[in-house]
């Protein structure tokens, strides 16, 4: 027990009987609590080539720096970050989550990039009522989990938003038939369901065929050829950086007439995709969905960008958008941590059930990504919507730039 709290309780105990009401005692005890509020990160820190967990941690730490410059929460309590690595292995994620759930002082756990890991953790979230914040993983079932009350809050992309955007972009580009190339996981199946729902309501583009690949496959050329032979004029890809880089290198090795455009889900942006794909990337028409761009923020939301730089500069040396790897992970975690802190203040407590309820009541937060009138409601635990989506392309330095900004090519 902290000294200030011991002194307070000693003083209260010495007071005349009945001089302090029970409610005042409870308020005074809470006011005297100066212990840090713990924030867990369950991420893929050790996964080779991955930058997503590190991006989530960057966003959280930048937000905490800003919050603590304003005096912290609950009259001066600080946040403390605790990280655990699951390396994209679900069993490790479950082990981490069990440890977090039993950790005294832990308020919430921020999940990492991989939907399959988070989906495997859902039963434990339900059992322990651990507050789970999702700044990246996009499978619909992570939020649509049947929990009452729901302890999962997402500020990220959602597959039932991502797939319509990808297919609609194909139609806008005059592509009549697409092939779906999907990972054989819960994330891939979530996107297939979204594609089928979109196809039932829209005539174009038509889904010519669907092909699957497995995690860590060393070649994707056969499923790609199957889709092209089925009449696909473009590929809608659901992949992370490793497998996507394999596919890009294989497509670039084909004659130009056999290279179909690729419109990719955003898993590729969580790793060192540009380096892995190499020069082959500039031989393939490759675009990727995003929810946010620091390039846009610097021009369209300069005040928010400057607030972010004021904390990201001293801690990480960030001065320009292109210095930020896995940008959506940074921005989502930054905004989500701020919203979580506002919920703590609103609840007047760092107790999980009270903060969970308060998260549904936070209003009018001016974030990095946008101004949130009400990030979450009892009926909606998704903070982003279709209006936040954009398509982007890579530059050789690894930066993702929104379409419409001409990517800078390497000199010949």
Let me know if the fold of 35-157+305-381 is the same as that of 160-290+390-402: yes
Average pLDDT over residues 294-310: 96
In the predicted model, is pLDDT for residue 13 greater than 70?
no
Q: What is the DSSP letter of 397?
A: T
Looking at the chain, how many residues does it have? 412
CA 76 to CA 33: how far, in whole Å? 9
Q: Provide the pLDDT for residue 175.
A: 98
Q: Provide the pLDDT for residue 216.
A: 85
Q: Provide the pLDDT for residue 177.
A: 98
For the chain, the average pLDDT equals 92
Which residues, 6+ apart, have CB-to-CB distance to 88 below 8 Å?
Answer: 44, 47, 50, 114, 117
**Global model pTM greater than 0.85:** yes
Tell me the pLDDT band of 409, cut-offs 50, 70 and 90: very low
Determine the 3-state secondary structure of 97 from DSSP. helix
341: alpha, beta or left? (left if phi > 0; alpha if psi -120 to 50): alpha
Find the range with the poorest average confidence among 22-36, 95-109, 238-252, 378-392: 22-36
Q: Provide the pLDDT for residue 16.
A: 46
Residue 166: Cβ within 10 Å count? 28
Find the range with the poorest average confidence among 49-53, 136-140, 216-220, 404-408: 404-408
Identify the CATH class of 160-290+390-402: alpha beta
Find out whether 187 and 239 touch, Cβ atoms under 8 Å: no
Kindly state the tokens that stand for 243: 């497998």
Instruction: Give residue limits of the domains in the chain.
Output: 35-157+305-381, 160-290+390-402
CA 407 to CA 394: how far, in whole Å? 7
Q: Provide the pLDDT for residue 32.
A: 58
Q: Please report the DSSP string for 352-382 in residue order.
A: HHHHHHHHTT---EE-SS-EES-S-BTTB-B
In the predicted model, is pLDDT for residue 344 greater than 90?
yes
Where would I find the H helices in 74-220?
Answer: 90-101, 115-128, 159-172, 186-201
Architecture of the domain spanning 35-157+305-381: 3-Layer(aba) Sandwich (3.40)
Kindly state the tokens that stand for 184: 């054989």
In the predicted model, is pLDDT for residue 405 greater than 50?
yes
């Amino acid at each position: 027990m902290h000294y200030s709290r011991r002194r307070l309780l000693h003083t209260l105990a010495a007071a005349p009987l009945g001089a302090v009401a029970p409610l005042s005692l409870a308020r005074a005890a809470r006011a005297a609590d100066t212990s840090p509020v713990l924030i867990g990160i369950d991420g893929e820190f050790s996964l080779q080539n991955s930058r997503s967990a590190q991006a989530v941690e960057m966003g959280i730490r930048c937000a905490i720096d800003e919050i603590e410059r304003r005096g912290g929460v609950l009259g001066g309590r600080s946040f403390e970050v605790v990280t655990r690595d699951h390396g994209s292995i679900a069993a490790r994620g479950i082990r981490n989550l069990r440890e977090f759930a039993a950790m005294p002082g832990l308020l919430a756990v921020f999940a990492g990039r991989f939907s399959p890991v988070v989906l495997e953790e859902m039963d434990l979230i339900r059992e322990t009522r651990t507050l789970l914040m999702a700044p990246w993983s996009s499978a619909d079932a992570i939020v649509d989990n049947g929990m009452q009350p729901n302890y999962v809050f997402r500020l990220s992309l959602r597959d039932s938003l991502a797939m319509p955007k990808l297919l609609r972009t194909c139609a806008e580009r005059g592509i009549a038939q697409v092939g779906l190339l999907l990972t054989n996981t819960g994330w891939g199946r979530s996107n297939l369901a979204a594609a089928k729902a979109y196809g039932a309501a829209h005539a174009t583009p038509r889904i010519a065929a669907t092909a699957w690949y497995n995690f860590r496959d060393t070649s994707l050329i056969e499923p790609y050829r199957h889709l092209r032979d089925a009449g696909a004029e473009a590929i809608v890809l659901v992949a992370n950086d490793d497998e996507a880089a394999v596919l890009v290198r294989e497509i670039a090795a084909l004659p130009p007439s056999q290279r179909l455009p690729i419109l990719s889900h955003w898993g590729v942006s969580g790793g060192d995709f540009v380096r892995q794909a190499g020069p082959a990337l500039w031989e393939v028409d490759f675009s990727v969905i995003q929810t946010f761009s620091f390039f846009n923020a610097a021009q369209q939301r300069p005040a928010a960008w400057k607030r972010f730089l004021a904390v990201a500069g001293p801690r990480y040396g960030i001065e320009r958008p292109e210095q930020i790897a896995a940008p959506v992970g940074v921005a989502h975690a930054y905004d989500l941590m701020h919203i979580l802190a506002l919920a703590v203040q609103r609840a007047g407590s760092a107790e999980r059930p009270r903060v969970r309820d308060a998260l549904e009541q936070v209003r009018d937060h001016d974030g990095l990504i946008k101004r949130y009138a009400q990030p979450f409601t009892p009926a909606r635990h998704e903070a982003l919507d279709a209006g936040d989506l954009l398509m982007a392309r890579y530059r050789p330095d690894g930066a993702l730039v929104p379409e419409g900004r001409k990517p800078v090519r390497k000199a010949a």
